[in-house]
C-alpha cells in the first residue's frame, strides 16, 4: 500500500517512505558496524595476547636452555677437571700401600695433597661462579666492583664501576638477578663488541633504580634487541629479558648522543631489603 502510494507520487508518502527506510538503514548500519568493529577489536586483542604468549614461550625456552647449558658446564667442569684430579690423588695414595719406601711414600703423599688442594680450588671456583660470595656477603656494589676489577686486571679492557646511591641494599634475590644481568651484558661486550672500555654507573631517582653501562665497541640498539628477542637467536638477551621480567624491570639499548658510545640502561622499581629479625 505504502509502496503503491510512493509510486503514485504523494509528497507525504515519499518523505515518509524514504525517511523511514533511511532511518532504518542508518540504524541497522550502525548496529552492524558496532558488531563488526567489536569483533575486529577482539580479534586484534587476541592476536596481541597470542603474540605475548609466544614471546613468553621464547623467553621460557631460552631460560630453560641456559639452565641446561649451565648444568652441562658444571657437569663438564666436575667430570673433566675434578674427576681426573681426584683419580690421580687416589693413585698417589694407592702407591703408598704398595711402596714401603719412606721417601717415596712422603713424596706421593705430598703430591696427593697438592692435587687435593687444586681440586678444592677448582670446586671453590665452580661454587663461586654459581653464587659469588662477595655478592652474598657484601652486596651488589662489592660484587660488581670485584667483577670489574677482575676484568681490568686481565689487561684486555679498562673496566670501572661507580655506585652513586646504594646505601641500602636491595633484596638478596633481586641483587642476584641484577648481578646475573650485568654479568651477561659484560660477557656480551667482552665477546662481541671489541670495546676498549666499559663503565658502569648506578643511580636512583625517586623509587626508580638505574644501572647504566657504557662501552665504546660495537653494540646493539633497541630495534636490534627487539628483533633478536623475537627470533630464535640471542639466547643471552632473552635470558636478560626474562630475568628482568621477574623484577618488573626494563632494559634499553641505545647509542650515545655523540654516536661514539653504546649505552645500556636497566630500570627497576626499588624494593628495599627487608631487615631480618634477630634470632632467639
Partner 1 sequence: MKQNRGEGLGVIFFYCCFSWLTESATLSLVHLDIPDAIHDSWFTIIEFAVISYFTWSSLRSRRLKYIPIIGAIIFYPIAIINFTKEQGSFDTVPASMEAIFIITYCILLLYEQINNPEVLFVYNTKKFWVTIAFFIYFSSTLFLFLYARSFTASEYHKYWTINNFFEILKNILLSVSFIIKKMSKDPYPHNLSSDI
Binding stretches for partner 1 (CB under 8 A): 1-2, 5, 12, 15-16, 19-20, 23-24, 26-28, 30-31, 34-35, 37-39, 41-42, 46, 49-50, 53, 56-57, 60
Torsion of CA 115, 117, 118, 121, to 10 degrees: 160
Nearer to partner 1, 47 or 136 (CB): 47
Nearer to partner 1, 188 or 242 (CB): 242
Please give the Cα distance from 146 to 181 (Å, whole number).
15
Nearer to partner 1, 3 or 98 (CB): 3
Q: Cell 623467553 maps to which residue?
A: 59
Shortest spacing between CB 139 and partner 1, in angstroms: 34
Shortest spacing between CB 8 and partner 1, in angstroms: 13
Q: Give the contacts of 274 (CB within 8 A, at least 6 positions apart).
A: 171
Please give the Cα distance from 209 to 145 (Å, whole number).
18
Which of 146, 226, 223 shows the shortest CA–CA distance to 186?
146
Q: Give the contacts of 265 (CB within 8 A, at least 6 positions apart).
A: 210, 211, 212, 213, 251, 252, 254
Shortest spacing between CB 245 and partner 1, in angstroms: 13
Shortest spacing between CB 5 and partner 1, in angstroms: 8
Shortest spacing between CB 44 and partner 1, in angstroms: 13
Nearer to partner 1, 41 or 131 (CB): 41
Amino acid at each position: 500500500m505504502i509502496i503503491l502510494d510512493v509510486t503514485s507520487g504523494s509528497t507525504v508518502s515519499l518523505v515518509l517512505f524514504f525517511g523511514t527506510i533511511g532511518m532504518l538503514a542508518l540504524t541497522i548500519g550502525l548496529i552492524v558496524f558496532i558488531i563488526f568493529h567489536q569483533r575486529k577489536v577482539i580479534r586484534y586483542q587476541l592476536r596481541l595476547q597470542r603474540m605475548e604468549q609466544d614471546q613468553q614461550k621464547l623467553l621460557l625456552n631460552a631460560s630453560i636452555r641456559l639452565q641446561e647449558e649451565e648444568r652441562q658446564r658444571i657437569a663438564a667442569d666436575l667430570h673433566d677437571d675434578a674427576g681426573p684430579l681426584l683419580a690421580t690423588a687416589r693413585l698417589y695414595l694407592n702407591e703408598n700401600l704398595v711402596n714401603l719406601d719412606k721417601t717415596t711414600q712422603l713424596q706421593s703423599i705430598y703430591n696427593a695433597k697438592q692435587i687435593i688442594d687444586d681440586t678444592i680450588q677448582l670446586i671453590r671456583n665452580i661454587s663461586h661462579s654459581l653464587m659469588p660470595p662477595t655478592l652474598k656477603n657484601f652486596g651488589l656494589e662489592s660484587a660488581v666492583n670485584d667483577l670489574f676489577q677482575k676484568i681490568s686486571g686481565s689487561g684486555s679492557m679498562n673496566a670501572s664501576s661507580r655506585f652513586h646511591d646504594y646505601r641500602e641494599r636491595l633484596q638478596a634475590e633481586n641483587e642476584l638477578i641484577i648481578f646475573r644481568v650485568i654479568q651477561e651484558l659484560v660477557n656480551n661486550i667482552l665477546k662481541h663488541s671489541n670495546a676498549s672500555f666499559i663503565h658502569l654507573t648506578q643511580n636512583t631517582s625517586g623509587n626508580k633504580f638505574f644501572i647504566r653501562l657504557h662501552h665504546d665497541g660495537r653494540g646493539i640498539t633497541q630495534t636490534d634487541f627487539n628483533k633478536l628477542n623475537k627470533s630464535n637467536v640471542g639466547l643471552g638477551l632473552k635470558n636478560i629479558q626474562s630475568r628482568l621480567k621477574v623484577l618488573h624491570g626494563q632494559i634499553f639499548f641505545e647509542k650515545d648522543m655523540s654516536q661514539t658510545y653504546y649505552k645500556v640502561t636497566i630500570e627497576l622499581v626499588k624494593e628495599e631489603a627487608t631487615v631480618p629479625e634477630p634470632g632467639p
